[in-house]
Structure 1
Amino acid sequence: MEKTHVTFFFLPLLITSLFTIASSSSCPINFSYVQTLPWDTSTCRNPIHDQQHCCQTLTTLFHVGLAQHLKQTSFFQLPNQSTSSTCLSNFQANLTPLSINSSLVPSCFPNPSMFVTNMSTCAGIVTTQDWEQKVGSVRVGPLRSFCSGELSDQTRCHNCVAAGLKVAFQLTSVDPNASDVNQCFSFASLYAAAVVNPQGTTDDTTMGCILNIPLTKGSSKNRGKVVKVVFTVLGCVIIAFVVMVIIYRKWDKRRKENVYHREIENGVRNSVLSNTGAKWFHVSELERATDRFSRRSVVGQGGDGVVYKGKLSDGTLVAIKENFDLENKGDEEFCYEVEIISKIRHRNLLALRGCCISSDNMKGKRRFLVYDFMPNGSLCYQLSLGGANRLTWPQRKNIILDVAKGLAYLHYEIKPPIYHRDIKATNILLDSKMSAKLADFGLAREGSEDQSHFTTRVAGTYGYVAPEYALYGQLTDKSDVYSFGIVILEIMSGRKVLDSLNSSADAITDWVWTLVESGKVEDVFDESIREGPEKMMERFVHVGMLCAHAVMALRPSIAEALKMLEGDTEIPKLPDRPVPLGHASFQSSLLHGLQRSGRSMAC
């Protein structure tokens, strides 16, 4: 065990040193392609109303250079932060002639180290050799198969993207160090564009499909081949007869297959309670809403699925989540999630608009959940913004209160109560008025009215899971309260629950306790809100500390926490500091508990 710790401690230093020796601060990427490729610049010329979309476009455009770099050097990312900063500067210089505002690059990429090689990123993968060794030939097979040819066909493109997402999910589910599914999926896209696809990284179909770059209309090449007539009239009668026989047999086979798949779909529909109120969409409706599930419609992906932005026929904007890993999860879980979400009716909980199921030979069974679209994205995204776009104190306060009210509804206003089990910044969505809605009830479980807790298989996200739940599977309402306390501390400080770029960093709870005990509570506040009402903000920090206390008995209920936040009741004296959660033995036990459940780390 000691050898393993020593190896993981020195390996990042060794790799960093080698990169420093082998590289200089000059950028190894030629970004001149920015001015020649037919990418759609319209979203970045006036990004005031949709900066998130512009930043996503610039990120995919930057990945063209990373793909070229991977093809030339076998390295997925840049050697050091100095090189990354230089590359971002060169990237901006090539955008300027296109009338792109010079402030967009530093705003979209506030942390240059996001493109720098790091052993904690995606299972420690650094080179293509690492990738092939970690992923394995069996799992990388579909990626090579679907991404190695012409990708202008929508079905082939969808299969290529799905193969990349599946590899990323499998990698994170097998290796607990592969914490970021998004990063692993980025690696899969870079690998597919640079190594697998022979068309080249700047090919229209490679950019539009694998790298998800929005292209200008009419830029795709028309590569359809005209089939020449080779049969003579003399053999037409015989051939026509043979074709008719084949068509009939295929038609009959397809008819039987359709009956089989319809039986599967009807079985799932009948398993969902009829009074849930969920609208059943046909998959063709969702295809039209998302431009056939185009990569441009993707607004998020995670270990258990991908989320598309869609527009229904009546003009309503919706978020459509397609569930993955259906081979290992039965339809019972899908039906249970639909029933759970259909029971909730609260303005701070994301309600289900409808669902969709389909089954066929080409794409297998597919399961979709449809929600109202949240234009301001997730709390995780908002906390990552810098400059004038950072959340204000009133916005942060209201978000915390909104989440507390939604949780109180789940715990007290529904019988039996519902425990969410996966409260985190990425599962808190913000509407057009920045009101918060708690989302993603895929892990939610109904409690029991006649007992205070029950034991269940551990689920959740590393960093947000209560200690007693991670270690012993003991689930109570206080488990959700712990996760809520972590979210409060994240919102107040602007700091992530775990710093993925610094493996030696303390957990956020330990960091906050150290500052408060030293009388430096003001240092907990995010710099952008330090001019706010100090006493009120201090109260919110103290409530977050109480909720995230390692000892379950010392945590308040969510109803008590809400009254403290609103100032209706006094905050009790802070108890003694708990055992530091950043302690190596404690972290090892928590991680082991989550490894058994196959859950991911905090994003």
Structure 2
Amino acid sequence: MCPMDFSYVLRIPWNRTLCQDFNPPAQNDNTNPTRKHPCCQTLLSLLAVALAQHLKETSLFQLPDLATSSSCLRDYQSKLNSFSLSDNLLSYCFNPSQFVTSPNICARIETSQDWVDRLGKSTSLDTDCRSNFTDLTACGSCLGAGRKVQSLLVSADGNQTQAEDCFYFAILYAAGIVNEFGPESDGVVSCIFGLELNSSVDSASNSHSALVFGLTGAGVAILVTSSLLGLYLWYDKKWRRKKSLGFGFDLNEQGSTPKLRPNTGSIWFKIQELEKATDESDFQGDAEFCNEVEIISNLKHRNLVPLRGCCVIDDDVNSDERGTPRALLITDWAWSLVKAGKVDQAVDASLLRGSDSSNSNPKGIMERFVLVGILCAHIMVALRPNILDALKMLEGDIEVPQIPDRPVPLGHPSFHVDGNNFSISPVLSGPKLHCGDMLR
């Protein structure tokens, strides 16, 4: 009896087109060149699925004797007959003896233990053929590993005529022993065994039904979406009318009484009220600020850039007193150096020291990094480069353009000098900008 189960022949959607029109001659002639017919190659790859599973279960690369091999080919043919294929395909394509264990095949390997004895416990197959081959790169790596192992086996055998058998053994080992998904998985069948999976042929009878269900589902989805959209527009219009009746305000109205913004309930404050509430001029919140920094520094999330550190700068006001702390943005500081022609002062001196090679230019590289950083942090969002252009600038593929002027946003402390100590460097002055035009 055959120890292999060929029921997978009916499950795997292999392309039977090459064998449906092939009618081999009744006389078995080993010299007939058509024995290399593509149908025979397809049937050999399909048979390898059973041999790889047999290797996994018994550690034998081939079948124990001629009687067992003949029995297995008969079982295999019975499954092929279910597809109305020629009943002498296997008798024409194969000789039962070619699947029988023999010490004269590929480096005298008969079992998986012989494989380990010849090649060791780990080869390139063990690292490159474990995945499910969801992309062509993984498949190519596995096939490349198979070729490397084939060369090792041929060298161990010393007979180049065994090259084809050694590659076949490598295929069986990769599919039956190494791959985590098994010989019948789609990735192994299509990549390692090279079988064409023609699911479109097998599912042709269902294509019309799928189209009908798809169109029906799309129609229902459009109807539901239209109904929900109409309901939303009706509700939104009704809600807007109700809010407009309850919350009115005048943008030109003077006075300090906060007003509710229509539809949102937001309160509109004047800048003087915010300054009074936050006490900007005295900057007495050092302790609270440090506590907030500690909390933010401990936040870890894949969508958050971690805070590496910060500082509070004290400036001198005058000479006598300090098969008052002044707020400072690092972007403003770097911008002022660039506009003053002192971009090298924005870079740590240790970063400007490079090798003695005449081709290296660490100063030029670091200055380019500073310019790209300033450009990416420009207060005008529309003037910032996209990530692809920024990367090309960093790598030197394209030149960094001239840095555009940096306008001062409305609400900057330079607009309110009534008694506080905020100031702005002349190099930062520029056209006035509405807050809605920037992102900082």
User: Taking structure 2 as the reference length, what is the TM-score of the superposition?
Assistant: 0.44
* Greater per-residue strand proportion: 1
User: Taking structure 1 as the reference length, what is the TM-score of the superposition?
Assistant: 0.33
